[in-house]
Amino acid sequence: MAIRADAASSAVARPHDTDPEMGAAALKTDPAKARQRPLPEPPPLTGGHGPARVIAMCNQKGGVGKTTSTINLGAALVEYGRKVLLIDLDPQGALSVGLGVPAQQLERTVYNALMERNTTLADVRVPTDIPGLDLVPSNIDLSAAEVQLVSEVAREQTLLRALSSVRNDYDYILIDCQPSLGLLTVNALTAAQGVIIPLECEFFSLRGVALLVDTIDKVKERLNQTLEISGILATMYDSRTVHCREVFSRVVEAFGDTVFQTVITRTVRFPETTVAGQPITTWAPTSSGASAYRDLAKEVLVL
C-alpha cells in the first residue's frame, strides 16, 4: 500500500483545528472495536520453510512497543507453525533480555555478523526457549557499528548481505529497530520487504510518523523498491480514554486499511513478561494480550 508522508502530516494537523468538545461527543464508542471483523484461521504452511519474509519493526520514538511486538508477534507466528528469526538491532539489547538471553555476556552478537567478513548471522544466532523461535542477540557493542559502518562500501546493504546465510531457514525474520532513523535502521529498511510501525495511541506519537513515512519513501525510492508498509499497529491502547480513541480515529482516517484491525491494549502483563524473559503467549497464554498478538499474526500471515 502506497502511503505518502502528507497522509501522516494531515493526521498530525487535524487535532489542532478540532473543537475540544468534538472528541467527547463524536467518539462515545470504541473505534477499534467498530473496525473488528472475524479473522480467518491462518493457512497451514505448505512446501517447507523459507525463504523468509523480512519485516522491520520500526518507529524512531522509544517506548512505543517495538520490542514487545517483535517478541510476541514472533512467538505467535511460531504457534502457527512458522519458523521465525528475531534480530535485535538495538544496542540496548532489550529484545535479547526479553527472551532471557544474557546478551551483555555474549562474545559474539549481531555486531560481529555486520562488521566481520567471516562471521555470519548463522554463526551468532541462538535458540530461545521456544522451539522454532531463534534470536540474533545484540548488546552495547552494536553502538559502535553506526559509526564504523559509515566508511563501509554499500553501507546501507550490510544487513541485507548478512541475511543470505539465514534467509532460507525461516518463514519470517523480524528486525527490532532502535529508536532512531540512523544507519542501522536504514539497513533494516533496506533488508526488509515490510515495515510494521508500532504506534502508541497518544497525540505526540503522530508527529513522528510523518518523518518515518518520509524515510520509508526515500529508502523505497533509492535503496529498496520492494519495501512496503505492512501495517500500523496501535499499541498501549486504552479504549476508556477519549484521547486514545480520538488519536486512533485520526490514524485510521489518515492511513485507512494500513492500520491493523488488531490493537494492543495497555496492560501491566507486558512489563511482567520482560522480567520473566518470555513472550506473553507462553507467560500468560490465555491473556487478552496473548490473544491480541495471535490476531496480529493472523493478519500478518495473509499479507
Tell me the per-residue interface mask from 6 to 35 with Mg ion, x by CB under 5 A, - otherwise: ------------------------------
3-state helix, strand, coil in the chain (%, to 5): 50, 15, 35
Q: What is the rounded distance in angstroms from the CA atom of residue 41 to the CA atom of residue 69?
A: 20
Is residue 66 a contact point for ligand ADP (CB under 6 A)?
Answer: yes
Restricting to residues 162-191, which ones interact with ligand ADP according to CB under 6 A?
179
Among 40, 43, 63, 102, binds ligand ADP (CB under 6 A): 63
Cα separation, 22 vs 129, in Å, equals 49
Contact residue for ligand ADP among 31, 65, 93, 194 (CB under 6 A): 65
Reduced to 3 states (helix: H, G, I; strand: E, B; else coil), residue 235 is strand
d(CA 129, CA 134): 9
What's the rounded Cα separation, in Å, for the pair 279 and 290?
A: 8
Any contact of residue 177 with Mg ion (CB under 5 A)?
no
Residue 274: which of ligand ADP, Mg ion, none does it interact with, CB under 5 to 8 A by kind?
A: ligand ADP
Site string for Mg ion, 194-233 (x = CB under 5 A): ----------------------------------------
Q: How many residues does the chain have?
A: 303
> How far apart are CB 32 and ligand ADP at their closest, in Å?
13
Q: Are 248 and 32 in contact (CB under 8 A)?
A: yes
Nearest to 269, CA basis, from 255, 254, 282, 252: 282
What residues numbered 75-134 form the site for ligand ADP, per CB under 6 A?
94
60 scored as a contact of Mg ion (CB under 5 A): no
Question: Which residues contact ligand ADP by CB under 6 A?
Answer: 62-68, 94, 179, 235-236, 264, 266-267, 270-271, 274
